[in-house]
Amino acid sequence: MYLLKGNIHSFEWGSTELLAGVMGRPSPTPEREAEAWFGAHPGGPSEILAGPSGAGSGLPHDLAEAISQDPAGQLGPDLAELPFLVKLLAADKALSIQAHPSKAQAEAGFAAENAAGLPAGDPTRNYQDKNHKPELLVALTEFHALAGFRPVAQTVELLRELDVPELAPQCEALAATLPGAEGSAARVTESAALREVLGEWLSLSPADAEGRVAALLQRCEPLRGEPGILGEAARTVVELQRDYPSDPGILVALLLNRVSLRPGEAVFLAAGQLHAYLKGMGVEVMANSNNVLRGGLTAKHMDVAELLNILDASPLAEPRCEVFADGDQATAEYRTPVADFRVRTLRPGASMVIEEPAVVLAAGGEVTVTSATQELPVASGSAVWVGAADGRVSVTARGEGARESEFDATAFIVTVGDAAALD
């Protein structure tokens, strides 16, 4: 087993307090810390702090190196690489609106960009690797997100209540897809209409985007206190305008579900589903990829044509992920329809035995991980890698130390998933 230090990534949407708080470090930090990565992705493999031979110079430098030196001992006979990545994510303002490709799309896109001679790390690359990126976000604090396209009937109702003339053509294009609309025999599908509206808004000139956002903002300012979807959408528009003035992503946000998560609740986003995390801290678990196609709220590279190509524009009525807890609520599992990862949690005082490769993350309290030959205490904000050769390992959530969230769970146990187990 190896004690891991998260690889911290600083982005302008990050926080000077949240990651430091859960890790017990002084705050505010000099930079905005957005993510701490626990895994073996080449963009930020986790540093190894201690292991079987102690914290001496004989240890591998990071988890990627440890796996490359002994793939069978670390991953077992059936895996060539670690299929998941675990992150602590802290957002003080919205991340870009984005979607991620399917496995087949990522493989094709990665090969095409390599053939075109785009170097690794080029800011115009869409595909940093050849993997898909389904992802689960479990809230540690109150967490807000835009997650998947809202059912079209609700969006049409919202746009009609907002009554912004500059957005009327897109509203009516969506309305034409609904049952009972004139010309319904020839109407396009909801997905096709959403794709078309998204493409129109993301292709606006800066001047046109500024004009439409200004008209929308004028309408939303007095509606922020309204109940229901109308007030929620108005507040979202005002918040996004503050951080991303006149960005076309503010228009796109009108198409998406606004989700407010209590600590312990989660959202799951499959390949192609449009989303943006807005504010809060959580544990994010995803397939081991960094492929992002952006759709607004960013100054980074946007490839609208490729985003539309990989997009799943089907409305998503319920983006929340179900949580399955045992009888005494000591353990819980967030079940997803992917085989890349399986996520379970332990409340303080609870234990679990695992017999497979895993990242065990402490979030809000201390965890102890014990094998036949080692015992590793894990402070909040750190993690342990359990290799295949470690055999039967016990994980105990102590619940001691700083608690920077209202979430009862202290330990996150992330292993490779089994989609067949969901049947």
Binding site residues for Zn(2+), as ranges? 98, 100, 135, 275
Confirm if 289 and 135 have CB atoms less than 8 A apart: no
- What's the sign of the alpha-carbon dihedral 343, 349, 352, 353? positive
- DSSP secondary structure of 138-162: EESS-EEEEEEEPPHHHHHHHHHHH
Query: Under 8 Å CB-to-CB from 413, ≥6 apart: which residues?
Result: 343, 344, 345, 346, 352, 354, 358, 359, 360, 395
Give dist(CA 15, CA 27) in Å, integer.
Answer: 10
Give dist(CA 42, CA 303) in Å, integer.
Answer: 24
Residues in the chain, total: 423
Assess whether 335 carries a catalytic annotation. Answer: no
Here the tokens at position 244 are 């991303």
Active-site residue identified among 32, 125, 212, 294: 294
Q: Which residues are annotated as a binding site?
A: 98, 100, 135, 275
Query: Nearest to residue 126, comparing CAs of 145, 111, 139, 141?
Result: 111
Look at residue 5 and give its three-state secondary structure.
strand
Distances in Å between the Cα of 409 and the Cα atoms of 141, 189, 229, 270, 396 are 12, 42, 31, 25, 11
Look at residue 374 and give its three-state secondary structure.
coil
Confirm if 31 and 10 have CB atoms less than 8 A apart: yes
What are the catalytic residues?
294
